[in-house]
Amino acid sequence: MNALAARRRHPAAIAILLFLGLALVGTAYSLLAPKSAQAAVSTADDVALGKQLFLANCATCHGLNAEGTKSGPTLMGVGAASVDFQMGTGRMPLAGPNVQAPRIDKVKYTEEEIAAIAAYVASLAPGPAIPEGKETTGEGGNVALGGEIYRVNCAMCHNFAGSGGALTRGKYAPSLYGVEGKYIYEAMLTGPQSMPVFNDTNLTPEAKASVIAYLKMTQSEPNVGGMNLGNLGPVSEGMFIWIFGLLLMIACAFWLGQKAA
C-alpha cells in the first residue's frame, strides 16, 4: 500500500484510475444489465390468428378495427408490405411515444406472427403486397443507373453513402447500412414515416432493384481510401485532423524541442 501511496501523485495516476473505473463500471453493467424476455412462439398463419395478434399488440394505438386513433394512423390500405416492413425491422410495435419509430434489430415477433398480422391487415383493404421477386435482392439491377436514381431521390435525406441524415424536429432518415434488400424495397413501396412513396409507376421494379444493387455494391466494396470515418463528409474529417492530426504534430514538435542541440 505504501508503494501505491507514494505514487498517488504520479502523472499517470489519474489516467489509470479513470481506466480502472471505466473497466469496473463496464464489467458490472455487462453482468447486471437486464436481459430481454423471450416472446411466445406461434405456429398458425391465418387471418384469424393475425386478428388475435393485432388486437393484443396493435389495437391500442391503431384501433380495434385498424381504423386509427389519436395515437396511431389507420391501417386501411397500407397493405401487407407495410406491416412486413414496420414489424420486420422492429419499428412496430412502438416501445414508447417518440417523433419517429427507431429500427430495432432484435425483432420480438416470429416471421409467422408478422405474416399473420400482415395477412389480417391486407384483408381489411387492398394495398401493396409483400414483394417476393428477385428485385428485392437487387439481382439484375444496373448499378450505375441505381446510383443515379439514388443520388436524385434518396441522397438528400439518407446521405451519399446511405449513412443517414437529420430531418426536422428530431426526425431522421435512418442509415441504410446492413438493411435487407426486401426492407429497402418495401420502404420505397410504402413510404414509411417521413419517407415519400415510390410506387411502381414512379420507380419501376427494375429501377428499385438497381437502387438496391447500387447500395449492396457500395456497401460491400473495400474502403479503397482507408478508414471512412463513418462516411459523414467533411465534419468527421475536420474533427479527425483537429484531434489526431494536431495532436501528432504537437507531439512531434514537443519531442523535437526536448532533443538536445
Interface contacts to other proteins, rule CB under 8 A: 9, 99, 143-144, 147-148, 151-152, 155-161, 163-170, 172-173, 214, 217-218, 221, 223-229, 231-242, 244-246, 248-250, 252-254, 256-257, 259, 261
Residue 177 makes CB contacts below 8 A (sequence gap 6+) with 162, 163, 219
CB of 133 to other proteins, least distance (A): 23
Residue 41 near residue 110 (C-beta atoms within 8 A): yes
Tell me the three state secondary structure of residue 236. helix
Q: Give me the least distance between CB of 40 and other proteins, in Å please.
A: 31
Residues 6+ apart with CB under 8 A from 259: none
Q: How far is the CB of 218 from other proteins (least distance, A)?
A: 6
How near is the Cβ of 32 to other proteins at its closest, in Å? 25
Contacts of 137 (CB under 8 A, 6+ apart): 181, 182, 209, 212
In the block, cell 456497401 appears at 219
Tell me whether residue 163 or residue 190 sits nearer to other proteins (CB atom): 163
- Tell me whether strands 172-173 and 165-166 are parallel, antiparallel or unpaired: antiparallel
Please, which residue, 81 or 176, has the CB nearer to other proteins? 176
Q: Select 19 or 244, whichever has its Cβ closest to other proteins.
A: 244
Q: Which is nearer to other proteins, 114 or 215 (CB)?
A: 215
